[in-house]
Copies of this chain bind each other. A is one copy, B any other.
Amino acid sequence: MTPMTKNLPHPRRNLANEIVSVLRSDIISGVINPGEALAEPVLAKRFGVSRAPVREAIIELERAGLVQFETTGRTRVRTLEEKDLAEIVETRIALESMGARLAATHWGPEHTLRVQQFIAEQEAATTDSEFSLLDIAMHEYIMKRSGNERLVVLWQYIRWQFEMALTYIHRLQINTAHDLRRFTVAGHWKVLETLAGRKPEAAAKVMAQHIIGSLEWSVTETTEHPPTAGSGPRKGHVAKMKKGSSASS
C-alpha cells in the first residue's frame, strides 16, 4: 500500500479497492479463517493507512458476503454451514442458468473456440487449484457472454462465496479426484454444445445440471454415490458435506 495522500499523478483514486482485493484473497484462500475478527485499527496498521479506506473495504466485503457484522458492530469472517453451501449453489444456478440462456442467444464461432481452449487447458491442468482456476475462468467467460452486466456483477459476489466454500471443502479433502475432473470436463463439453447450437433453454438446463452435479459429486463421498455423467444427481438439495474432494463446476 502506498504511503498515503501525497501527490498521486492522476491514477483514478482507490486504495479501499486494493485492500478489498487483498483481504478477499486472504479470506478465500483461507489465510484468514472463518470466525476470525477483522478490526479496523489493526488492518489500518497492517496496510499502513488510516481507518477510512479500511472501513470502506470491510463494508464491501460484507456486501460480498465474505464477512459478517455482529449485532455489537464487530466484524468477523463469515462462517459457512451446510445451509450456506446450499444457498450459494442455488443462487449460482439461478444466475448461471440465465447467463447461459442469454449467452446462447448471441453465441458465435469465436466464442466456441475460446471455450474449447479453456477445456483443453483444463484437461492439461496438473494441479487441483489450477483446474479450479480454469474452471471458474470459463464460467466467468460464459457469464460475460450473456451481455448482462447486472447478472455478472451479482454472479461475482456469489462466485467469491463459492470460492471460499471450496477452500473449506478442500480442507476436508483426502485424495485428488481425477474422476471429478473428468465429470466436470464432460459437463463443460455438454454446455458448450448447447451454446454453440444456440439453444437457450437447453443451455440453461444443462448449465444447472452441470453445477449441481459437480457440487454433489464433490461434497459426497465418491465411493458411496458416484453420479454417472449421463444422469447426474437431480434434486435441488445438496447432499451432506463429507470428506469430498476438489469441487469445481
Contacts and interface: CB of A to CB of B under 8 A. Distances in A.
Interface of A: 12-13, 52, 56, 59-60, 63, 65, 71, 73, 86-88, 90-91, 93-95, 97-99, 101-102, 105, 148-151, 154, 157-158, 161, 200, 236
Stoichiometry (number of copies): 2
B150 A87 contact: yes
Contact of A87 (B59, B149, B161): B149
A154 B157 contact: yes
What 5 A-B pairs come out closest when comparing CB atoms? A94-B98, A87-B150, A87-B148, A91-B150, A154-B154
Given A59-B56, A93-B98, A148-B90, A73 B12 contact: yes
Looking at A13, A90, A93, A161, the one whose CB has the most chain B CB atoms below 10 A away is: A90
Nearest to A208: B98
Nearest to A153: B65
Given A59-B56, A73-B13, A157-B154, A91 B98 contact: yes
Contact of A12 (B52, B71, B98, B157): B71
Contacts of A93: 98
B87 A236 contact: no
A90 B97 CA distance: 11
A139 to B, nearest CB: 15
Contacts of A150: 65, 87-88, 90-91, 158, 161
Contacts of A95: 94-95
Contact of A236 (B86, B101, B149): B101
Given A59-B59, A94-B97, A94-B151, 8 more contacts: A13-B73, A63-B63, A87-B149, A90-B151, A91-B148, A91-B150, A94-B94, A150-B161
